[in-house]
Amino acid sequence: MNEIVENSVDKREAILQGAFEEFCENGFLAASMDRISKRAGASKRTVYRYFESKEVLFQTLMLRQWRVIADNLKVSYQPGMDIREQLIEMGRAQARLYTSPEVMTANKMLMGEILRDPELVREIQNEVDYTASFEQLFKEAAADGVLTIANPRQAAEEFISLLKGKAFWPFMLGAPLVKPDEMDAMIDQSVDMMMNQYGA
């Protein structure tokens, strides 16, 4: 029974990987379920057994990518630790995503399709909350008196937007990936802005 389950998981993963390669190479519209099944080493019938349509397969990939991002943005407040250092760690959590060729290539492919057809994400757009752990950190830091924040959610969105605007969106528009030393400088600047705004 366990072997069957493992094979099932492996097959699903192979289909997702094949679909990712196909979507990256040809885009959603030109992607072929025949080619996806070939890349996955599975029959077309098997592909449809796991994913009822190309749209569902794409949405599954997109949701998985968003969860990878959310998982990488998980942070927690550390009482007694310098708050500026904690904000720097928050920036580094983002930097690990924005400097990863694999993550950013996937994001670029997905973003292109989202902009082309927003309906593709309408049903799943609220499934993942990127800002939850940042919001909680700001809430606890404010309660601890080391930051002065009336709206932790807004502060979390602002902090994410600072680096996203400097590293994520330029890459989406054709710029090269930000280099690690450039990212370090961006993190420092972003943290300085947050401390100037919310520092107690």
Q: 28-87: per-residue pLDDT in tens? A: 889 999 999 999 999 999 999 999 999 999 999 888 888 888 888 889 999 999 999 999
Together in a domain, 80 and 160: yes
Residue 121 pLDDT exceeds 80: no
Residue 197 pLDDT exceeds 50: yes
Together in a domain, 120 and 152: yes
Q: What is the extent of the structural domain holding 173?
A: 59-198
Q: Which pLDDT score, from 0 to 100, does residue 109 have?
A: 85
Together in a domain, 90 and 153: yes
Together in a domain, 41 and 80: no
The answer to whether the CB of 32 falls within 8 A of the CB of 44 is no
- Cα dihedral 67→104→186→81 (10° resolution): 30
Per-residue tokens: 81? 């630790």
Helix ranges (H only) for the chain are 2-30, 33-40, 44-50, 54-72, 83-98, 101-116, 119-122, 132-143, 152-163, 169-172, 180-198
Domain containing 23 — which CATH number?
A: 1.10.10.60
Count: domains in the chain: 2
More confident residue, 141 or 10: 141
Domain containing 66 — which CATH number?
A: 1.10.357.10
Together in a domain, 95 and 187: yes
Together in a domain, 81 and 169: yes
Task: Please state the pTM of the whole predicted model.
Answer: 0.80
Residue 135 pLDDT exceeds 70: yes
Question: How confident is the model over 138-194, as pLDDT tens digits?
Answer: 999 999 999 999 999 999 999 999 999 999 999 999 999 999 999 999 999 999 999
CA pair distance 65, 72, nearest whole angstrom: 11
Domain end, chosen from 16, 36, 52, is at 52
Together in a domain, 30 and 9: yes
